[in-house]
Amino acid sequence: MNTTSTTALDPQRVQRRSVFLLSSAQLLSGVGNGATLSIGSLLAVDLSGSEAWAGSITTVLTLSAAIAALPLARLAEARGRRVGLVTGLVAAMAGALLIILSVMSQLFVVLLLGAAFLGLGTAANLQARFAAVDLAEPERRGRSLSTVVWAITIGAVAGPNLIQPGAAVGAALGLPSIAGPFVFSAAGLLLAAILLFVGLRPDPLLLARRLAADASGPGATGEKPVRGTIGSGLRAVRSSPPAMLALTAVVAAHGVMVAVMSMTPLHLQQLLGGSHQGHHGGTTDSTDALVVIGVTISLHIAGMFALSPLWGWLTDKAGRLKTIALGHGLLLLAVLIAGFGQHEPVLVTSGLILLGLGWSAATIAGSTLLAESVAPGQRVTVQGVSDTLMGAAGAVGGATSGLLLAWIGYQGLNVASSMVAAAVLVLAGIAALRGPLRPAGHSRDQVIQ
């Protein structure tokens, strides 16, 4: 019965439809994170009564996404991508509603709980990029993955710009104005969940498994998925040199990006606030500093997502290894420009743009390589481990960057980050010199460039 129903489908038609649906859901759900990142710190200070808690929302959201990555992967492994993604999006919608409730009740703990639930939406968005390659042909995997990543751009840009419209909607609903943007967030997450629940049929992961079973011939039982734990995922990665390189490239890129990006606003504030002291005993208008910081971070975010299709195309055409090397080369250049140009806002901003571009290239190429470098039964668990370690690297990078900034300064932070990017660049170069990579469990004629 399965063979008949499977052969009646055109896998590549299902793939194109799946990528369109995943991208549309990313666009809708991205608004939620955009609103949270733009005004979450304001809410935290307002409800806690202390500026010391300003970064708590971002921290909780990041840690929640890291913790939720593997459970959502296990759910996808057992029930398919559709169930895993929809579960994360519905939880995130509940988080947006909890944030509205926190404003109405003035309870800081409810705000933190809402941010934790929104983190599940972040985990689902990360998982969506892997869902885009379940049915993709090898020569189009990078482009399929990058298309879904690129869709985040619109939501990330739209989210921060919903403060004024959100205030009007909040007033119309009898809500405090600062809670209004989260009405848009909740609505976007609900629409994304409905879109995937209704439209993502057949499920790309489950269909890919049936196609693999059909190709194995009559009587084949197929490969049993591994138990979804960090230990089993890491064992699968260690058995495959391409997967080891891919995971290292993705995690290192994320750690470097978060470490430098998270301290740049503070560095710019100190630079612009103190650079004009002396002649009249005054300081630069804080509004000017905020404008420069806002433009810098906006351009950095654009670098992270806007050119994703280009990196996906390069991943498919030039090869995974070369694009990983290019990504970490851009990261290395970025931190050197920002670090040694630390006294010039233009150079710092240029460095942050390159930082976003390097992160994007390394993440897209590394994620593509990871998805194809382990056996099908290990794939979803390994992807969950990758997202968990990315979140952990971001948390560690964000936490240690403040200590490094206080200890060795902004230039020292960037030089330390350059060592991480340079190490991965060397590893990618060595792998390229050794010739095409051969993933574990594949035939001798299957190689990865």
pTM of the model: 0.83
Query: In terms of residues, how long is the chain?
Result: 449
Closest by CA to 359, choosing from 324, 310, 407, is 324
One domain, residues 45 and 183: yes
Mean pLDDT across 412-426: 96
Which CATH number characterizes residue 263's domain? 1.20.1250.20
Answer whether residue 426 is part of any domain: yes
Residue whose C-alpha is closest to residue 258's, from 420, 103, 19, 24 = 420
Are 54 and 164 in a shared domain?
yes
Cα(86)–Cα(46) distance, rounded to whole angstroms?
A: 32
Q: Which residue has the higher pLDDT, 98 or 184?
A: 98
Q: Tell me, yes or no, whether 166 and 44 share the same domain.
A: yes
Instruction: Tally the domains of the chain.
Output: 2
Q: Residue 446: pLDDT band by 50, 70, 90 thresholds?
A: very low
| pLDDT digit string, tens, across residues 251-296 | 999 999 989 988 888 888 888 875 444 333 344 455 677 678 878 8
Q: Are 181 and 166 in contact (CB under 8 A)?
A: yes
Helices 141-150, 108-131: inter-axial angle, 10-degree rounding: 150
Look at residue 377 and tell me if it is in a domain: yes
Q: 241 and 174, same structural domain? A: no
Q: Three-state SS string across the chain, please?
A: CHHHHHHCCCHHHHHHHHHHHHHHHHHHHHHHHHHHHHHHHHHHHHHHCCHHHCCHHHHHHHHHHHHHHHHHHHHHHHHCHHHHHHHHHHHHHHHHHHHHHHHHHCCHHHHHHHHHHHHHHHHHHHHHHHHCCCCCCHHHHHHHHHHHHHCHHHHHHHHHHHHHHHHHHHHHCCCCHHHCHHHHHHHHHHHHHHHHHHHCCCCHHHHHHHHHHHHHCCCCCCCCCCCCCHHHHHHHHHCCHHHHHHHHHHHHHHHHHHHHHHHHHHHHHHHHHHCCCCCCCCCCCHHHHHHHHHHHHHHHHHHHHCCHHHHHHHHHHCCHHHHHHHHHHHHHHHHHHHHHCCCCHHHHHHHHHHHHHHHHHHHHHHHHHHHHCCCHHHHHHHHHHHHHHHHHHHHHHHHHHHHHHHHHHHHHHHHHHHHHHHHHHHHHHHHHHCCCECCCCCCCCCCEC
Distance CA 356, CA 192 (A): 26
Q: Are residues 309 and 398 in the same domain?
A: yes
Question: What is the distance in angstroms between the CA of the first residue and the CA of the last residue of the chain?
Answer: 38
Give the Cβ contact number of residue 331 at 10 Å.
Answer: 30
How many other CB atoms sit within 10 Å of the CB of residue 346?
Answer: 10
Euclidean distance between CA atoms 360 and 254, whole angstroms: 9
Residues 6+ apart with CB under 8 A from 371: 130, 133, 141, 145, 379, 383
d(CA 294, CA 70): 33
- Identify whether the C-beta of residue 260 lies closer than 8 Å to the C-beta of residue 338: yes
* CA distance linking residue 336 with residue 17, whole number of Å: 42
Higher per-residue confidence, 434 vs 388:
388
Rounded to an integer, what distance in angstroms lies between the CA atom of residue 288 and that of residue 266?
14
Rounded Cα–Cα distance for residues 243 and 437 (Å):
10
> How far is the C-alpha of 431 from the C-alpha of 423, rounded, in Å?
12
Distance CA 111, CA 99 (A): 5
**For the ranges 171-185, 186-200, 221-235, 393-407, which has the lowest average pLDDT?**
221-235
121 and 154 assigned to the same domain: yes
pLDDT in tens, 421-442: 999 999 998 988 886 665 544 4
Burial of 92 (0-12, 13-18, 19+ CB in 10 A): buried
Examine the domain organization and report whether 134 and 6 are in the same domain. yes
- Together in a domain, 250 and 191: no
125-169 per-position pLDDT tens digit: 999 999 999 999 989 999 999 999 898 777 666 665 666 777 788
Are residues 81 and 166 both part of a single domain? yes
- The pLDDT value recorded for residue 434 is 80
Q: 400 vs 313, which has greater pLDDT?
A: 313
Q: Residue 276's pLDDT is what?
A: 41
288 shares its domain with 185 = no
Residue 367 maps to a domain = yes
Closest of 164, 437, 227 to residue 320, by C-alpha: 437
* Residue 210 falls inside a structural domain: no
Which pLDDT belongs to residue 266? Answer: 82
Residue 217: inside a domain: no
Q: Is residue 239 part of a domain?
A: yes
Q: Work out the pLDDT band at 34, boundaries 50, 70, 90.
A: low
62 pLDDT more than 60: yes
Tell whether 139 is covered by a domain.
yes
CB-CB contact of 261 with 398 (8 Å): no
Q: For residue 196, what pLDDT is reported? A: 97
Q: Is 218 part of any domain?
A: no
In this structure, the answer to whether residues 201 and 321 fall within a common structural domain is no
- Expressed as residue numbers, the domain containing 244 is 230-277+284-433
How far is Cα 261 from Cα 212, in angstroms, rounded to an integer?
42
Note whether 195 and 116 are same-domain residues.
yes
Q: Which residues pair with 448 in a beta bridge?
A: 437
